[in-house]
Amino acid sequence: MEWYDRHARALPWRVPPAERLAGVMPDPYRVWLSEIMLQQTTVAAVRDYFLKFTTRWPTVQDLAGAADEDVMAAWAGLGYYARARNLLKCARAVTRDHNGRFPDDHATLLTLPGIGPYTAGAIASIAFDLPHVVVDGNVERVMARLHEEHQPLPGAKAVLTDYASALTPQDRPGDYAQAVMDLGATICTPRNPACGLCPWRSACRAWEAGTAAELPKKAPKKRKPIRFGIAYLARRVDGAMLLERRPDSGLLGGMLGWPGSDWIEGDPAPAPPIRAEWKELPGEARHTFTHFHLRLKVMTALVPMERPPERGEFVDADMFDPNDLPTVMRKAWALRG
């Protein structure tokens, strides 16, 4: 904690240690929003999105009242779009069922959409200073090295959580949780840990054994399959672009994107959304999801004003912004040159 009080990272969702010691409590809304955004994403990637969201929707009630399509567009590029859908569901549940205030107990937090054990622990600990264990990838790494735990992840998650729980103090548990995260992010890093600067070096069994750099161990990853698909970029003569909103369930749920074929491990069947003379662009849009690699063939066409689409709807040129599209859709757009 002495190390954290001197070296805490300055993050837009965090109350600095000096202010926290002076009695300033974190805003649960900002803690929750940052934790949802940080799932499977880096601090560097999240920072600008967090500032954009909190400027546009400074309270949970503001976010609850936002239009779905505005929130999904603001989220575009951050990935894992189920998080954005649950973000809205949770904001509306807090506003509707809890008078716009996040519950201050772990059990009730778990009843909110999109909040699992980790996020509930983080909110309870950081926002309300309750002694709940918080274990992210940084904490797992610190615990594995501190205890020289050689059992590989993900099987070691339970024992690493037990280690972290045993160390969680009653005093300043929220700052402690952030201190261990910062230690993992800045000193106990995945590669080349700076053990000489670590405040826990004298207690670290991996440092003593010389095994810090090889921990935590991880089970071999399964090979990801490759799926193929076709994306159709239709431009109307007035400049409007043909877009289609994806189903709420599944990948990129609820997001606007290019109409296209199914994504399969084989040759996809053509599925043009409008009758046109389609031309294939050179190259392909490549993107990696959690469970597979995707390769999209991109077809383009110019269509007349009077021709209606079979799927999707045209978005006027002055309303179309490719930056509002998910990353894979932006990659397809970029192939136009």
* Residues marked as catalytic: 35
Contact 109, 102 (CB under 8 A): yes
DSSP letter, residue 218? B
d(CA 87, CA 219): 32
**How many CB atoms are closer than 10 A to CB 265?**
10
d(CA 94, CA 44): 28
Q: How far is CA 108 from CA 27, 82, 94, in A?
A: 18, 21, 11
d(CA 1, CA 145): 19
Q: Which residues pair with 196 in a beta bridge?
A: none
Q: How far is CA 13 from CA 37, 46, 138, 246, 326, in A?
A: 11, 11, 18, 31, 25
